[in-house]
Amino acid sequence: PQLCCPRCHATRWYRHGRECGLQRYRCRACGKTFNTLTGTPLARLRHKERWLAYLDSLLASHTVRQAAARSGVHRNTSFRWRHR
């Protein structure tokens, strides 16, 4: 699938720097910037490297506190991630 703007769905964009290790793009049609994670549950996630460990705990039906302990995040973070 070709990368497109998540707001206007235009396929014309150009590279517009990097942020947090991810390539940023700017749409030529609407001028908004985005990256490959925009519009996904991983957008604006601070601890991306811990997300897979948390997801494994979620699939194993662990409680919020157990999932937090296993993935190394705070229990409040675990609670918020569960809603993603």
7 and 29 co-located in one domain: yes
The residue-averaged pLDDT of 6-12 equals 94
Distance CA 8, CA 29 (A): 8
38 and 52 co-located in one domain: no
CA terminus-to-terminus distance, the chain: 24
- Number of domains forming the structure of the chain: 2
Question: pLDDT averaged over the chain?
Answer: 92
Taking a C-beta distance cutoff of 8 angstroms, is the pair 54, 71 a contact? yes
1 and 38 co-located in one domain: yes
34 and 66 co-located in one domain: no
Q: pLDDT at position 1, please?
A: 66
Q: pLDDT at position 41, please?
A: 83
pLDDT at residue 31 above 70? yes
Tell me the residue range of the domain where 31 lies: 1-44
26 and 57 co-located in one domain: no
pLDDT at residue 61 above 80? yes
Which pTM was predicted? 0.70
